[in-house]
Amino acid sequence: MAKATKWVYFFGFGKAEGKAHQKMLLGGKGAGLAEMTNIGLPVPAGFTITTEACDAFYRSGSHWPTGLDKQIREAISKLEKKSRKKFGDDKNPLLLSVRSGAASSMPGMMETVLNLGLTDVSTEALARKTNNPRFAYDSYRRFIQMYSTVVCGMHKDVLESKLHALKERLGLRLDVEIPAEELKRLCAEFKEFFEQDQGFPFPENAYEQLKGAINAVFNSWNAPKAVTYRRVEKITGLIGTAVNVQQMVFGNMGDDSGSGVCFTRNPSDGSNEYYGEVLFNAQGEDVVAGIRNPLHLDELKRLMPDIYDQLLAVRAILETHYKDMQDLEFTIEQGTLYMLQTRNGKRSPRAVFKIAYDQATLPMLTKKEAARLVAKRYLPLRYSAVVTKPVLTKEEAIERVNAKDIERLFYPEIDTEALDEAHGEGVERFLNDHRLGMGINAVPGAAVGRAVFDAERAEERAAAGDKVVLIRRETSPDDVGGMSVAQGILTATGGKTSHAAVVARGWGKCCIVGCEALDINEQSHQMKVNGQIIKEGDYVSLDGSDGSVYLAELPLTLPELPNEYYKIMKWVDEVRTLGVRTNADTPADAAKAIEMGAEGIGLCRTEHMFFETEARRLAIQEMIVADREETRRKALDKLLPYQRDDFFGIFEAMNGRPVTIRLVDPPLHEFLPKTPEQVQRLSQATGVSKEAIEHRSEQLHEANPMLGHRGCRLAITYPEILEMQVRAILEAAVAVRAKGKKVKPEIMIPLVMDPKELRILEQKTREVADSILKEAGVKIPYLVGTMIEIPRAALLADRIAEAADFFSFGTNDLTQTAMGLSRDDAGRFLPDYVDADKAGIFPDDPFQALDQTGVGLLVEMGIAKGRQARPGLKIGICGEHGGDPDSVVYCHQVGMDYVSCSPYRVPIARLAAAKAVMAEGGPKKPSAAKKVAGKARSAAKKASKAVKKSTTSTKKKARTKKR
């Protein structure tokens, strides 16, 4: 006979059936209650209904699974026996709380019911038993309100308005001032209204109440707000919520009772202080709801010093036990302390670093303080040594920090404190009233400025002193000037790797993309959103934390980097072995990247430089519309000093660090004018007729430019472009060397697909470079390499490596070409491929996290074949994946030398690289990269043999056919 499923786990009276590691089964709250019970802390007894029961509830059409009812009744019987109270009794009633608790914290997203078990009869019994009628009817009033709204779906405001009306009639301000008789009448009024609204009387059977509350918690798992929260927080892989049924303890029994919430450290700045609030003569919901102004914990120390010392001991025990800052809930019932919850506390990015560093270097309590608590018998002797030593190692402190923590440190954010001061309790209403819509939060942070709908106007208004937010349907390289001066960028289309997102991320600018509610009219310089017209000059605010767009000028604040950030990042650099470079196109970008910890530039995109000024735009456009080589060279001569000066500034800023410069990559038509006004300006500047310019634009137009005449193909057709860029690079290097500074140029040829193609361009590059160095009479080591961004290049990597000093994987384009996906268009359907509730085909967006199982095979083959032909070949990655933590770990594993990413993602890459080493057991152990690289080499050999076999077979067939 099969063993019955265990749905219910009991805890209390010093022993719990559950354990801390069972969060997936018992939920975070249930596992915490079990662990606190086993530790010996004062926890009200109860039981946890598992997440598996919730899953079974949904799978059986909202019916309890077999055996659950029996196990719940057995648990209640045990609780009654131990507590010497009876559920629903008319003499000594046992009252319960019913709370949700998923494995991942979802604060406020699911339901809670308190004071369950109260009826007309048991409330009278409670009043007699406690000799406190006011407390009894206050609890009954609370229960009727909660049960009506949570279980039966009545609107909260209806009963709340009756409570406010009573206080107004009595001339009272606070709930605690309402006398018992008035509360009793209010309960009767609530129940009468309940029956009118629901069509049946308020349940007087305690077990019927419990069933309703448990079902309400189960149902709240799939409530819209809970589903949305899980989607936004990317919480996946959970089957449901647990339900925690616990004996009630009462903080509303008088001035010797109360409830509180506290953190074992300050969650705002991370300082080692007991941080929290307490509200006397109140239940826990009052503290969270802000019904009355709570008191700081220091007041508890003054009014109840013994309870405060007990809490100090609990604080030390739980933080050292979990090795993390804890978020605690407690209740004081007539001078007795009870712990209701512990969980890892949410904290600001600043606090993340402060807490992690302090826990690795400093004790929580001094020996004197620990001895005092031991002497009072609040702190068990076995904890005295633990709480006076650091609880984390350096490696554990590094593990405590994640990519989001770092990212959030560097972006401005909405100043919630200023909003609270301005709007008080109405802040949520204010934000909801001014929210225009929501998009994809491509780059976090916040931005405020005047709405502008084209890049040129953005530049003009910014030059005039305005702060602007650039709003476009989509952006292109032509918008770079406007993007660079904007406070933030908002687009109607695109995803997290669209042009807008990639560029904004590199500059650390807040960016929201894919806001489909925007109906933008560029000609009239305005947009319509849900019938509302927003004109140029109207203030808009972007909140990159959740993708919200507001029609308002919201206050911003800049976070300050804590000293502990620099200390932990120093530990990170001591551990990692993978180099971290940056993608930077200007001296300012380069300087910022060095500040972020970059060790060089892995990608300098030369095409962005062409858009910085009108003169540059006209020069590149003049070159493109030229119909003869001589005319093109004249235009390129105008561009040469601009490019040389740019490279000089970058080399100087990098101060001897390697700089990888990619030769021009986009198709030429992207540089040409788009509007009649721009065509007219170019015609006047060059003497070329408007008709000829428009004709040239038509000639260059391509149906699929991503696979068209771009990258190294331009240099094959127009070698003079390559010559000008290489000359600018080497002349800048010579000039920097003349100032006594080191310089390490690396010239990168993009979009190579054939060994001969690279050989031609590599030889041309060296001819130009060597002639400049010879003329200057200096020796400057330089490298010539290529990007591997086309599958054919990975397949032929051994032959391509013969002409390359280095490989840099351009995984943005490699992903597009390998998967047959357009980066800019796939955002319309890729979410369905990633959403586990829909298709769930990919674990992540392949443009955000490298597709290791597919595209990764090409990367591994490229590395293995490249180094097979050229041992010691330097290899890096310069796509957006270079800043994705999981992708960085992969790059470490396959044996790359470095990753390159946007300046503001450099610290994230550094952290991920360190964690990759730690995952292998630490820097002293053999790297798993060798094993992976060995597998990659083996795969490459097999693939190479298969290609040769296929080629030989094809040739034989061709010869046979010819004969």
Q: DSSP of 729-788, one letter per residue? A: HHHHHHHHHHTT---EEEEEE-S---HHHHHHHHHHHHHHHHHHHHHHT-----EEEEEE
Which tokens sit at 606?
Answer: 């030369």
What sign results for the dihedral spanned by CA atoms 249, 251, 255, 261?
positive
Which tokens sit at 369?
Answer: 């303080």
Could you say which of 321, 499, 881, 892 is catalytic? 499
Could you say which of 510, 878, 891, 901 is catalytic? 878
Spatial distance between the Cα atoms of 60 and 215, rounded to a whole number of angstroms: 13
Exposed, middle or buried, 196 (CB in 10 Å: 0-12/13-18/19+)?
A: exposed
Q: Give the C-alpha distances (Å, rounded to integers) separating 605 from 67, 444, 503, 817, 878.
A: 65, 24, 11, 20, 11
Q: DSSP of 526-554, one letter per residue? A: EEEETTEEEETT-EEEEETTTTEEESS--
Q: Which bin fits 223, alpha (ψ -120 to 50), beta or left (φ > 0)?
A: beta
Q: Which residue has the tokens 């890729």?
A: 830
Find the helix or strand (DSSP H, E) in which 149 lies: none
CA gyration radius for the chain? 33
Reduced to 3 states (helix: H, G, I; strand: E, B; else coil), residue 871 is coil
Spatial distance between the Cα atoms of 783 and 776, rounded to a whole number of angstroms: 18
Find the helix or strand (DSSP H, E) in which 580 lies: strand 579-583
Which tokens sit at 477?
Answer: 């390289």
What is the distance, to the nearest Å, from the Cα of residue 564 to the centroid of all Cα atoms in its chain? Answer: 21
Q: Residue 892 catalytic? A: no
Q: Give the C-alpha distances (Å, rounded to integers) separating 296 from 299, 308, 314, 328.
A: 6, 12, 18, 14
Paired residues of 245 in beta bridges:
47, 98
Residues 6+ apart with CB under 8 A from 681: 618, 673
Pairing of β 112-116 and β 275-280: unpaired
Closest CA to 794 of 753, 742, 762, 848: 753
Contact 451, 471 (CB under 8 A): yes
Closest CA to 394 of 577, 571, 573: 571
Spatial distance between the Cα atoms of 335 and 117, rounded to a whole number of angstroms: 24
What single-letter amino acid sits at 497?
T
Pairing of β 258-263 and β 275-280: antiparallel
Q: How many CB atoms lie within 10 A of CB 838?
A: 10
Reduced to 3 states (helix: H, G, I; strand: E, B; else coil), residue 519 is strand
Spatial distance between the Cα atoms of 501 and 518, rounded to a whole number of angstroms: 17
Contact 43, 36 (CB under 8 A): yes
**H-type alpha helices, 822-927:** 830-834, 855-869, 885-893, 906-919
Contact 715, 762 (CB under 8 A): no
Closest CA to 595 of 889, 299, 192, 907: 907
Spatial distance between the Cα atoms of 743 and 782, rounded to a whole number of angstroms: 9
Q: Residue 878 catalytic? A: yes
Contact 197, 154 (CB under 8 A): yes
Give the residue numbers marked as catalytic: 499, 878
